[in-house]
Structure 1
Amino acid sequence: MNIAFIGFGGVGQGLAEILEEKRDHLKTEYGLETKVVAVSDVMKGAVYDPDGLSIPELLRAVREEGSVEEYPDAQSYGWDSLKTIQESNADLIVEVTFTDVKTGQPAIDHCEAAFKHGKSVVTTNKGPVALKLDELQTLADENDCFFGFEGTVMSGTPALRLPKTTLMGNDIQEVVGILNGTTNYILTEMEQGMSFDQALKQAQEYGYAEADPTSDIEGYDVRYKTAILSHYVMGEAINALEISCEGIADMTQEKIQEAKAEDKKWKLLARIKKTDNGVRAYVAPEKLDINHPLAGVKGATNAILYECDLSGPIMLTGAGAGLKETGFSLLIDMIHAHQAKKSIIVR
């Protein structure tokens, strides 16, 4: 499998490290042999060699020199993202650019270009999946391509693949999730006595929250993940901007203590529920009884609860962020892409 990285920030580098560390295991266990042939990043430059690039040398160049174009003796340098997708000999595009979630760009353009040129895509970008899943999946199918996006909801925790594979045969009536580690961390620290501002500042110091934390604390990040879950798991496409969304910006110590007195805890939840009138989805803080399975989820951890008609409630919990964890989500998709390709060849 020849791979081109479109975007080579922390997540892309995390996946590259995994591919190097797990090279022998991937070949022995899954028959997957990978070769990185290209990297294109608007900040870190671009490099291409159809015979393959050394991952250790790529990582050295970008981490020590600040640019992949410090990689020695490659065939080409300076290609932009679309030229890399269209003209490289990559079979699979790892799309991990900084993308505007409201427009899905530039990731949507990258996915479309890849599929039109017969190249599979794995991505962690929420925008393309939340906004154009059906169109992109159709384009991928028409060109015999794989489209993987496991990491868009809970990073390396397989919130999308679990209900589609392991829980097959169930009718999932409701999905409830803690899908943002930053807000869950803030609420956990407030339970220990911190004010909202103190907890947010600490979250920023630890790298859980961005300098501009609006997307997290206002619930916008969860809103797009909710749209993906509604469409992919529950079968109903809902415009992300039409999902009712309330964050935790107004959370106070008074509310936290009031909940404690009631043996309850505040959690920012995504809820997607089947009703007689279709699927209803919203994002809002809720007071959960202390015995509720999601009430005990602490810190920057994510969790999701599937209410199933046959198996009963099934809960999945794990890291919802992290460079290696998110890189792992891309690896999951790469293995499935390889297995899907093998299946087509066998048939």
Structure 2
Amino acid sequence: MKIAMIGFGGVGQSFAEILEEKHQELQQNYGLDVEIVAISDVMKGSIFHPGGLNIAELLECVKRTGSVESYPSSSQTIKGWNSIETIEKSQADVVIEVTYTDVKTGEPALTHCHRAFETGKSVITTNKGPVALAYQELTEKADHHGVFFGFEGTVMSGTPALRLPLETLAGNEIKEMRGILNGTTNYILTAMESGMTLKQALEKAQALGYAEADPTSDLEAYDVRYKAAILSNHVYGVHLDPDEIFCAGITGLSVEDIKEAEKAGEKWKLLARISQNNGNVKATVRPERIKEDDLLARVSGATNAIVYECDLSGPIMLTGAGAGLKETGFSLLIDLIHCHKQKQGTKIGGGSHS
């Protein structure tokens, strides 16, 4: 399976490391032989070799020089392609799309997905924007061109929040999904339980790398709103415009609020709720006070969790890391293995998408 990587930052490099590390196991367990034939990154340059690139050497070049173009050239090596040229000309089977993308417009990832499908290539992405904004259009286009569209990493990173409800919980009616879908805000709320102010907790989260320099998307819950839209699209088959989902962040919460809840045997959590009733889907994202015996009340620190309220199996909770380079890299591998299985005719799940 030949891969073109569009974007080669932390997640892309972690994925490449996983491929190098698991190369033998992927061959033995799944009959999957993966070659990275092309990389295109706005900061690190681009490189293509039809026979595949040596991953260890490639990672060493990036570490040493910050550029993939320092990789040794041969007569077949081409350097300098932009992302669209890489998608069109690389003869890859799968495009791994991990660019820095504006979640509000879905670009440039949205254009990359469209172009890949149009040229008969499967796409695996961790970018929320395209999936939240254009889920139906993209999944239909992937189906039309007979290719795979994977996006497991868009909601809970390497924790399979999208595959679990459709495959493992198949046969259940999922009445509601409730989730802690942002590790940064959960870390901050947990830190505030020990007496820190929101400002102090945020600074600690930034120092540990959980929060960005500009934490607005996390604190105001915009990040979770896009994830709620993806869950509605994927699990319920109903498009919700992210802008139409009620959204409130945690900036209004004080240490006093946290203590008051504790006295009442409750905890504050930033929750996404997506529910279905007679085909009507509703979603909200906001801080809620929940009882200490609630499954989600026990989820602390930068951990994510989601509860599926099922009619047959009762509540099922899935919990794990919702971020992290290795974890997000692993989400790409989950989709890659499923893409390979589908190609081999051992299709699992419905449709040709994730």
CA drift of 1:34 comes to: 0.2
Q: What corresponds to 2:51 in structure 1? A: 51
Residue type matched to 2:271 in 1? L
Q: What corresponds to 1:252 in structure 2? A: 254
Instruction: Give SS of 2:345's match.
Output: helix
Q: What corresponds to 2:112 in structure 1? A: 110
Q: What corresponds to 1:7 in structure 2? A: 7
Deviations 1:132-155 (A, max 9, x none): 111111111111110000000000
1:135 pairs with 2:125: no
Deviations 1:147-174 (A, max 9, x none): 0000000000000000010000000000
**How many pairs align?**
345
Deviations 1:203-248 (A, max 9, x none): 0000000000000000000000000001111221110000000000
Runs of 4+ in structure 1 displaced over 2 angstroms? none
Q: What corresponds to 2:41 in structure 1? A: 41
CA drift of 1:344 comes to: 7.7
Q: What corresponds to 1:234 in structure 2? A: 236
| CA distance in 2 between partners of 1:333 and 1:279 (Å) | 27
1:275 pairs with 2:288: no
- TM-score normalised by length of structure 2: 0.96
| CA distance in 2 between partners of 1:168 and 1:8 (Å) | 35
Q: What corresponds to 2:94 in structure 1? A: 92
Q: What corresponds to 1:311 in structure 2? A: 313
CA drift of 1:286 comes to: 0.2
| CA distance in 2 between partners of 1:56 and 1:121 (Å) | 24
Q: What corresponds to 1:297 in structure 2? A: 299
- TM-score normalised by length of structure 1: 0.98
Residue type matched to 2:111 in 1? D
Could you tell me which runs of 5 or more consecutive residues in structure 2 were left unpaired when the two chains were aligned. Answer: 348-354
| CA distance in 2 between partners of 1:136 and 1:294 (Å) | 33
1:151 pairs with 2:142: no
| CA distance in 2 between partners of 1:57 and 1:156 (Å) | 26
CA drift of 1:277 comes to: 7.1
Q: What corresponds to 1:194 in structure 2? A: 196
> What are the equivalent positions in structure 2 for 1:153-168 lying under 5 Å apart?
153-168=155-170
Instruction: Give SS of 2:297's match.
Output: coil
Q: What corresponds to 1:339 in structure 2? A: 341
Could you tell me which runs of 5 or more consecutive residues in structure 1 were left unpaired when the two chains were aligned. Answer: none
Q: What corresponds to 2:22 in structure 1? A: 22
Q: What corresponds to 1:125 in structure 2? A: 127
Residue type matched to 1:256 in 2? I
**Larger mean Cα displacement after TM superposition, 276-285 or 60-69:** 276-285
Q: What corresponds to 2:352 in structure 1? A: none
Q: What corresponds to 2:351 in structure 1? A: none
Q: What corresponds to 1:182 in structure 2? A: 184
Instruction: Give SS of 1:295's match.
Output: helix
CA drift of 1:125 comes to: 0.2
Across the aligned residues of Structure 1 and Structure 2, the Cα RMSD in angstroms comes to: 1.0
Residue type matched to 2:302 in 1? A
| CA distance in 1 between partners of 2:58 and 2:86 (Å) | 16
The sequence identity of aligned pairs, in percent, is: 62
| CA distance in 2 between partners of 1:287 and 1:344 (Å) | 44
CA drift of 1:250 comes to: 1.1
Residue type matched to 1:3 in 2? I
| CA distance in 1 between partners of 2:139 and 2:194 (Å) | 45
| CA distance in 1 between partners of 2:204 and 2:23 (Å) | 37
| CA distance in 1 between partners of 2:335 and 2:276 (Å) | 28
Deviations 1:68-118 (A, max 9, x none): 000001511010000000001211000000000000000010000000000
Q: What corresponds to 2:82 in structure 1? A: 80
Deviations 1:13-32 (A, max 9, x none): 00000000000000000110
1:101 pairs with 2:103: yes
CA drift of 1:275 comes to: 2.8
